[in-house]
């Protein structure tokens, strides 16, 4: 299952995977919004498959956390941290007993990165 806010980009990635023989379900959704994250799991197909998602804001060379705007920081946290919770909550509501949710994050949540990505690292640590 692929979920994305932008249908055009979602479809492009899905098509490239299909060319490689991958079965893909496309879901236009914003994982940062609980209502749309939950809608992703209202189909039986996603329960057989897994995936990953993430948000990272690009900074100018030499940029630091002091240059993040409130909107930039919130966007990263909303997708990477809150979105992971909303998706797990929605999936848990329809999963069979004995099922499991495994969230995988980035090593940047545990170590200092070489790039100025404070919001990304904070979201992955969460």
121 vs 51, which has greater pLDDT?
A: 121
| For residue 119, pLDDT beyond 70 | yes
Q: What is the mean pLDDT of the chain?
A: 76
Q: What is the pLDDT of residue 37?
A: 74
Q: What is the pLDDT of residue 120?
A: 80
Q: Which helix (H) or strand (E) holds 2?
A: strand 2-4
**What CATH number was assigned to the domain covering residues 2-125?**
3.40.50.720
| For residue 90, pLDDT beyond 60 | yes
What would the pLDDT profile of 15-72 be if each residue is shown by its tens digit? Answer: 999 999 988 888 888 888 887 777 666 655 444 444 444 545 444 433 467 777 888 8
Contact 119, 68 (CB under 8 A): yes
Q: What is the pLDDT of residue 49?
A: 47
Q: Which residues lie closer than 8 Å to 52 by C-beta, 6 or more apart?
A: 104
Q: CA-CA distance, 61 to 25, in Å (whole number)?
A: 36
44 vs 95, which has greater pLDDT?
A: 95
Q: What is the pLDDT of residue 43?
A: 56
Q: Look up residue 96 and give its DSSP letter.
A: P
Q: What is the pLDDT of residue 12?
A: 94
Mean pLDDT for the stretch of residues 84-103: 86
Tokens of 64: 């630091």
């Amino acid at each position: 299952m692929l979920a994305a806010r932008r249908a055009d980009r979602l479809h492009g990635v899905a098509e490239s995977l299909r060319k490689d023989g991958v079965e893909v379900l496309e879901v236009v959704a914003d994982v940062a919004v609980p209502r749309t994250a939950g809608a992703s799991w209202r189909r039986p197909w996603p329960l057989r498959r897994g995936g990953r998602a993430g948000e990272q804001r690009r900074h100018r060379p030499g940029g630091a956390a002091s240059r993040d705007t409130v909107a930039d920081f919130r966007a990263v946290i909303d997708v990477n941290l809150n979105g992971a919770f909303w998706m797990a909550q929605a999936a848990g509501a329809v999963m069979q007993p004995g099922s499991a949710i495994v969230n995988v994050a980035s090593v940047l949540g545990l170590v200092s990165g070489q790039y100025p990505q404070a919001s990304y690292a904070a979201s992955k640590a969460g």
